[in-house]
Amino acid sequence: MKRVRSTITVPCRAPALHEVGDLVRKSLHAVGLPAERKELIRECVEETLGSMIRFSDHKGYAHDISVTTDVDGERFRVVFAEGKNDFEVGAGSDLAGDATYRMGTALARRVMTEISYTYKKGARNELELVHRL
């Protein structure tokens, strides 16, 4: 299978879920997985983005998130990235409230093969989800 890579940048708001879901569907179109498995991967990606959106709303942030899908014959990979550090954890008084809005990894841990989070203070946050095909 030929490698297919796509990137979109979406506002960190609920309407982005549909756009990202469409991107995942298109990315997985040529992959030889059962339709149910493809749908589960899409739901996993949307759940993860949904958690980021809820946290952003909770904090009152308005920013964009870059979403990159990368598919080849061996794996499906999606990377969520934001460069403003809006998801940085604040002072101790904020921690209790923030705990409610942790990135949604419940479904991701069941569906994905790998989950990686990269934090570069003052530069970038990235969450990578990988599903081996």
User: Which residues are paired to 120 by β-bridges?
Assistant: 124
Q: What is the pLDDT of residue 56?
A: 81
Q: Which of 92, 81, 66 is nearest to 125 (CA)?
A: 81
Q: What value, to the nearest 5°, has the Cα angle with vertex 46 and ends 44 and 48? A: 70
pLDDT digits (tens, 9 = 90+) for 48-92: 999 888 888 877 878 899 999 999 989 999 999 986 655 555 544
pLDDT in tens, 9-24: 999 888 899 999 999 9
pLDDT for the residue numbered 104? 61
| Domains of the chain as residue ranges with CATH | 4-132 (3.30.565.10)
- Residues 118-131 have pLDDT tens digits of 887 767 789 999 99
- Within 10 A of 105 (CB to CB), how many other CB atoms are there? 17
Can you tell me the distance from the alpha carbon of 50 to that of 12, in angstroms, rounded to the nearest whole number?
9
The predicted model scores a pTM of 0.83
